[in-house]
Structure 1
Amino acid sequence: MGKLTVRSVLSFIKEASEQIQTKKSGKLRLADGNGLYIVVPKKGEPYWMMRYTIAGKRSEMTIGKHSLLSLADAR
């Protein structure tokens, strides 16, 4: 079970959306645990991403947009 709550995700999205406009970085992300992240890009909608490693190679996979996929479903 991850460490994020629905309230903490919504709070992060709001704060990250404000912060990202002043940063040079293209996106901010917050980890839930077990490779699940909520990502807030500079342009576009927040989305869920999964990071995983196969044969020593780290990869990332987009799961879905935050507006269409709940935290429970992303897990």
Structure 2
Amino acid sequence: MIAIAKITAKGQTTIPAAIRAHLHVGPGDLPAWEIVADGEVRVRRVCPLGLEYLKAVEGTLSEWSGETDKENYREL
């Protein structure tokens, strides 16, 4: 399937409806753009649940963010 979209002067575009349906994306979702080795670009949906999980995990790692820990793990 090929879908063509116009880019505005601000670099914005609308993702065509057929592509949105295929990716299962809608308002508030996060598409990720990736340039692959052969120069093509892939677009995929980023799961918001994954981002929320990573943010939650990040908050639990604060116990290792002290100056002593930075000094002990500097060479890793």
TM-score range, shorter chain: under 0.3
Higher relative contact order (CA 8 A, sep 6+): 1
Normalising by structure 1, report the TM-score: 0.28
Larger Rg: 2
Which structure has the highest helix share of the two?
2
